[in-house]
């Protein structure tokens, strides 16, 4: 029996369907732009930047001098005494800064500002990676839809061929019915994929601060895996690259400054004062100058305890840096391994495994055309070919998502 359209032509049709779509490559340039847009528009990143700006104002608020004290008093006495001593007394007192206290306080404020800067950077990285992962998920969904579209085209072709066979009085309509059922099921899967695509696009718009109705072009993942960084090299970059570790270092600097502050608070505080007496008739009577000094030694045990506590917090902050570094290093090892495994799987599915499955499918198709192989073998081989191609794209997406997570752990300077 002559078949109007050879089954093998579905591969050519599938390729033309994929090429017909104006897909936009989801490369590093596009991902960088999405990260930057998310960091610019997301309220979490904006709030973190505002806290960093507030911390900068806290630095400016650190004072070297305490506020001076002025006083005005009036004497109530007999007229002669008021005339002799003066009945209007004006006083002025200024406390001198304790040596090193201003510098230590300012250093602590500067360290707190740098903590907020690193926290802001971490927040921007997090919202950027979220947007990038949403874009990767959208690109994967687009590729799945394209593969499902090619599968539907293939099913329509062989279903038509099966109908032509069923028209022969000597043939059975079982194959045509089976294929029509398969076609209906795959059509529903295809429609579900489009609805999923719309939902993911909404998530991406939300992470970027765009309108939910904003449209997206068809996105395409790279054809082959990206290079996977060496774990040891990435771990070596953690102290200088990871914003959380950098923030922890600044926390330790603030704790060190706090130790210096407590040490200097135990020093005496010196102030000078001037007091002038005049008579209400504006006649000058006398001026008194004096010096005052606090006696902190009476509370020496309290100051010592505060200094010891500050030193312990400083040591604790230093230990926390190493704890956090090890935790991040553990995550880096896991993420790099995940990326490397995904890349290896993607290469495997796009190489010999795919070539052999394609060859086997073509052989079974030719055999089915000549009525030498059952329909079940044809459907099974084609599903396997579709599954291999789908898995290859999924592993590409998995690798990209893992690399985005790695970029969050040890980001590169922009």
Per the structure, the complete domain to which residue 202 belongs is given by 7-409
Please indicate, yes or no, if residue 331 is contained in any of the structural domains.
Answer: yes
How far apart CA 398 and CA 406 sit, in angstroms, is 12
Handedness of CA 30, 31, 34, 39 (dihedral sign): negative
Question: What pLDDT tens digit does each residue of the chain (414 aa) get?
Answer: 344 444 444 444 444 444 445 789 999 999 999 999 999 999 999 999 999 999 999 999 999 998 999 998 888 777 777 777 778 888 999 999 999 999 999 999 999 999 999 999 999 999 999 999 999 999 999 999 999 998 888 888 877 777 776 666 555 567 777 778 888 888 899 999 999 999 999 999 999 999 999 999 999 999 999 999 999 999 999 999 999 999 999 999 999 999 999 999 899 999 999 998 888 766 788 888 999 999 999 888 998 999 999 999 999 999 999 999 999 999 999 999 999 999 999 988 877 777 777 777 777 777 766 666 676 777 777 788 888 888 999 999 999 999 999 999 999 875
Please indicate, yes or no, if residue 414 is contained in any of the structural domains.
Answer: no
Q: Is 368 left (phi over 0), alpha (psi -120 to 50) or beta?
A: alpha
Taking each helix axis as running N to C, give the angle between helix 243-265 and helix 101-166, from 0 to 180 degrees, rounded to the nearest 10: 160
Longest dimension (CA), the chain: 142
How far apart CA 365 and CA 372 sit, in angstroms, is 10
Structure tokens at 288: 């008194």
Dihedral, CA of residue 194, residue 197, residue 201 and residue 206, to nearest 10: 110
Please indicate, yes or no, if residue 2 is contained in any of the structural domains.
Answer: no
Residues 6+ apart with CB under 8 A from 384: 357, 361
Please indicate, yes or no, if residue 81 is contained in any of the structural domains.
Answer: yes
Please indicate, yes or no, if residue 167 is contained in any of the structural domains.
Answer: yes
Q: What is the DSSP letter of 97?
A: P
Please indicate, yes or no, if residue 1 is contained in any of the structural domains.
Answer: no
Q: How many domains does the chain have?
A: 1
CATH at 373? 1.20.1600.10
Please indicate, yes or no, if residue 94 is contained in any of the structural domains.
Answer: yes
């Amino acid at each position: 029996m002559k078949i109007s359209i050879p089954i093998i032509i579905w591969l050519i049709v599938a390729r033309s369907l994929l090429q017909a779509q104006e897909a936009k490559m989801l490369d590093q340039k596009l991902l960088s732009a999405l990260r930057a847009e998310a960091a610019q528009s997301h309220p979490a990143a904006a709030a973190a930047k505002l806290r960093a700006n507030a911390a900068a104002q806290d630095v400016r608020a650190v004072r070297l001098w305490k506020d001076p004290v002025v006083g005005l008093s009036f004497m109530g006495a007999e007229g002669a005494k008021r005339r002799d001593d003066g009945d209007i007394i004006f006083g002025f007192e200024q406390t001198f800064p304790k040596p090193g206290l201003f510098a230590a306080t300012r250093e602590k404020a500067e360290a707190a500002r740098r903590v907020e800067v690193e926290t802001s950077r971490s927040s921007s990285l997090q919202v950027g990676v979220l947007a990038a992962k949403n874009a990767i998920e959208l690109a994967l969904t687009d590729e799945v839809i394209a593969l499902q579209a090619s599968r539907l085209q293939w099913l329509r072709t062989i279903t038509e061929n099966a109908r032509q066979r069923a028209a022969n009085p000597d043939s059975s309509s079982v194959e045509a019915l089976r294929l029509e059922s398969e076609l209906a099921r795959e059509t529903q899967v295809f429609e579900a994929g489009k609805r999923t695509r719309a939902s993911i696009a909404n998530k991406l718009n939300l992470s970027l601060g765009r309108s939910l109705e904003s449209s997206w072009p068809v996105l395409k993942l790279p054809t082959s895996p990206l290079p996977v960084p060496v774990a040891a090299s990435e771990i070596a970059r953690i102290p200088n690259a990871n914003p959380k570790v950098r923030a922890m270092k600044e926390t330790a600097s603030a704790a060190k400054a706090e130790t210096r502050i407590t040490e200097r608070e135990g020093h005496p505080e010196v102030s000078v004062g001037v007091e002038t007496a005049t008579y209400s008739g504006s006649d000058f009577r006398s001026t008194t100058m004096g010096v005052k000094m606090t006696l902190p030694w009476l509370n020496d045990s309290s100051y010592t305890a505060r200094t010891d506590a500050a030193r312990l917090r400083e040591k604790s902050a230093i230990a926390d840096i190493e704890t956090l570094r090890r935790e991040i290093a553990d995550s880096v090892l896991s993420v790099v391994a995940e990326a490397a495994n995904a890349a290896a799987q993607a290469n495997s599915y796009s190489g010999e495994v795919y070539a052999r499955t394609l060859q086997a499918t073509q052989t079974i198709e030719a055999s089915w055309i000549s009525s030498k192989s059952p329909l079940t073998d044809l459907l099974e081989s084609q599903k396997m070919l579709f599954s291999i191609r789908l898995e290859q794209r999924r592993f590409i997406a998995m690798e990209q998502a893992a690399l985005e997570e790695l970029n969050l752990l040890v980001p590169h300077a922009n």
